[in-house]
């Protein structure tokens, strides 16, 4: 089997699933992709992630790995002969884990608040931009969060880039005006095939977000 026993359960619009796709592509790992319908989850998903019942799930030789950042670290450790995603120095690794964790703790919640709740969008929009500004500060003058090389934190964050268009249009904001260096970094990442092939089309993401808003009765 061409996929060498690697299966990814995902939902095309998930920025968490995209992280796994980028990591697999960076390592040149072939895999089978299975699109999940989150309103009608497959038996396989429920069996492989009974605790959280969420995507992404990486199934490697029949065994599941769950939670996107845990999956990315797993991929880095298994396919370790080429292109390390995490630094080798323990302190640099701790820093990388810190910033990826920061994205998880702060960005997703802030994005959800603006896109999928009614009222006070301006407040939440500011929170989202504040988080991006902190990240922009951490990037500094480096080409990537990993320094000279694209790595773990870049993967953790860049997948949110395809959601920016939806966010800007629905939240009434211009992210490039607020965080130009971060947008420059995102475009730099998009020049990598692993990223451009893994990120969803921003206009399709926007349509999806509009649909979800209607469903939640936000619009």
- Summarize as ranges the residues that interact with other proteins (CB under 8 A): 51, 60, 63, 65-67, 70-71, 73-74, 77-78, 90-91, 93-94, 97-98, 101-102, 134
Inter-residue contact 116 to 212 (CB < 8 Å): yes
Q: How far is the CB of 90 from other proteins (least distance, A)?
A: 4
Nearest CB to other proteins, comparing residues 14 and 73: 73
Smallest separation, CB 210 to other proteins (Å): 30
CA distance 31 to 24: 8
- If the CB atoms of residues 39 and 91 are measured against other proteins, the closer one turns out to be 91
**Which one, 93 or 192, has the nearer CB to other proteins?**
93
Burial label, 149 (beta-carbon count in 10 A; 0-12, 13-18, 19+):
middle
Q: How far is the CB of 125 from other proteins (least distance, A)?
A: 20
- What tokens does 95 get? 């820093």
Burial 41-51 (b: 16+ CB within 10 A, else e): eeeebeebbee
Rg (CA), the chain: 17
Closest CB 71 distance from other proteins, rounded Å: 7
Backbone angles phi, psi at 59, to 5 degrees: -110, 115
- Tell me if 133 sits within 8 A of 176, measured CB to CB: no
Cβ closest to other proteins, residue 68 vs residue 206: 68
Provide, rounded to whole angstroms, the least separation between the CB of residue 60 and other proteins. 7
């Amino acid at each position: 089997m061409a996929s060498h026993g690697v299966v990814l359960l995902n939902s095309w619009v998930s920025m968490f699933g995209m992280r796994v796709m980028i990591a697999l592509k960076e390592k040149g790992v072939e895999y089978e992709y299975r699109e999940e319908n989150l309103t009608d989850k497959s038996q396989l998903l429920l069996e492989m992630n009974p605790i959280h019942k969420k995507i992404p799930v990486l199934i490697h030789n029949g065994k599941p790995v769950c939670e996107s950042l845990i999956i990315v670290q797993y991929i880095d450790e298994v396919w370790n002969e080429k292109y390390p995603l995490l630094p080798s120095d323990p302190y640099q690794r701790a820093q990388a884990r810190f910033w990826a964790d920061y994205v998880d703790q702060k960005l997703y919640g802030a994005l959800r608040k603006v896109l999928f709740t009614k009222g006070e969008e301006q407040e939440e929009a500011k929170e989202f931009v504040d988080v991006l500004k902190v990240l922009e500060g951490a990037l500094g003058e480096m080409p990537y969060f990993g320094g000279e090389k694209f790595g773990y934190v870049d993967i953790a964050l860049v997948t949110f880039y395809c959601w920016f268009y939806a966010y800007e249009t629905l939240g009434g904001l211009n992210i490039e005006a607020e965080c130009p260096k971060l947008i420059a970094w995102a475009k730099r990442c998009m020049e990598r095939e692993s990223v451009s092939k893994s990120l969803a089309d921003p206009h399709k993401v926007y349509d999806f977000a509009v649909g979800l808003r209607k469903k939640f009765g936000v619009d």
